[in-house]
Chains A and B, each alone.
Chain A
Amino acid sequence: MKHILITITLFLTLTSYSQKGKVIYTATFSFDSFYKSKGESDSNESDKDYIENTEDIECELTFNKNESYFKKNDKIVVKKSKFNITNIKVGRGEFYHNRKDNETIEMYEFFGEDFLITKNKIIWEFENETKTISGYLCKKAVTVLKLSGRNGIIERKVIAWYAPKIPISFGPKNYNGLPGLIISLQEGDFFYIATKIILNTTKDILITKPTNGKNMTQNEFDIIIADFNRNRKKYMKRLK
């Protein structure tokens, strides 16, 4: 009887605390990881500006029972610099996710236009490896991103460490759908780590689906942005 009561209490605690909350992630670009993956022993002179200007960025994920919202922390001033690789990697977009519909939309402002990009679904592969991160026992899941790049398709390995004890299927950017909160995530040489987890906040968290912008798929947006990147001069000439 005692065991049953403990189990019920634990179940209720887990399900109730996971209804709403906030997670702060720190985003970091690792030059060491980059050089290692490139087989370069050390930085070269042309990277100097990037090394000097790349800074960590704080991001926040808010969530309720079915939806989440991910963006850079408004309260922290991010240095405006083309050389801050972390800023480029985090991106200019904000992310809305609906767990029930399994839909993620990136709100992206580009060239004076607002876009609502429906992100491609992520297919995770589960691995047996475990690791304790920030006091949470985490399990590993991986996926490979296929992104359009200047020289063709870029494959980027993504490793997520999620905590099954926190039954929230959300995470940074469009990385969702795991059976536990993502505590740490590696996307190539770029890392997110949860530095603050606030569960079961007293304040209600209202998240609304974005509607302001042009709807399109990631593939459609890639065509637009590739056209922009190849013909920037043409676009610039049209500005008044």
Chain B
Amino acid sequence: MKKLFILVAFAITFALMSFTNSAKKIKKVDPLLYDVCDEEATAAADRWGWSEQEEGAWFWECIEANQ
């Protein structure tokens, strides 16, 4: 059980690390745009009851629509 837990933790850490590394492909986001999208995504998720995936999509649509 302990081994399984370590394996799962390792897999998640690895996935998060590789995800972060691959993010280098994206252009730098203007900090002002980031602040606006971050705040609005949080508010929109609360208002419309969005899942994590929907909130992430909203944030990304906001960045892409304004870049």
Contact = CB atoms under 8 A, between A and B. Distances in A.
Interface string B28-45: 110100100110111011
A88 B18 contact: no
Contacts, number: 121
Interface in B23-67: 23-29, 31, 34, 37-38, 40-42, 44-62, 64-65
A91 interface: yes
B36 to A, nearest CB: 10
Given A150-B45, A227-B16, A88 B26 contact: no
B57 A92 contact: yes
Place the interface of chain A in its size category: 35 or more
A46 B40 CA distance: 11
A103 interface: no
B30 to A, nearest CB: 10
A112 interface: yes
B24 A226 contact: no
Nearest to A239: B28
Nearest to B12: A223
Nearest to A219: B12
Interface in A169-211: 188
A1 interface: no
B56 to A, nearest CB: 5
Contacts of B12: 220, 223
Contacts of A10: none
Given A113-B19, A220-B12, A81 B54 contact: no
Contacts of A150: 42, 45-46, 50, 52, 55
Nearest to A109: B60
B61 A87 contact: yes
Given A85-B48, A111-B19, A224-B15, A238 B57 contact: no
Contact of A229 (B26, B55, B65): B55
A78 to B, nearest CB: 10
A239 B27 contact: yes
Contacts of A47: 47
A110 interface: yes
B51 A147 contact: yes
Contacts of A236: 28-29, 31, 34
Rank and list the top 8 A-B pairs by shortest CB-CB distance, nearest first.
Answer: A112-B25, A147-B51, A82-B62, A112-B26, A239-B28, A82-B61, A225-B52, A225-B56
22 contacts: A34-B48, A80-B61, A82-B44, A82-B65, A91-B53, A91-B57, A92-B60, A111-B22, A149-B49, A149-B51, A150-B42, A150-B55, A154-B50, A214-B15, A214-B19, A223-B12, A226-B52, A228-B56, A232-B59, A233-B34, A238-B20, A238-B23
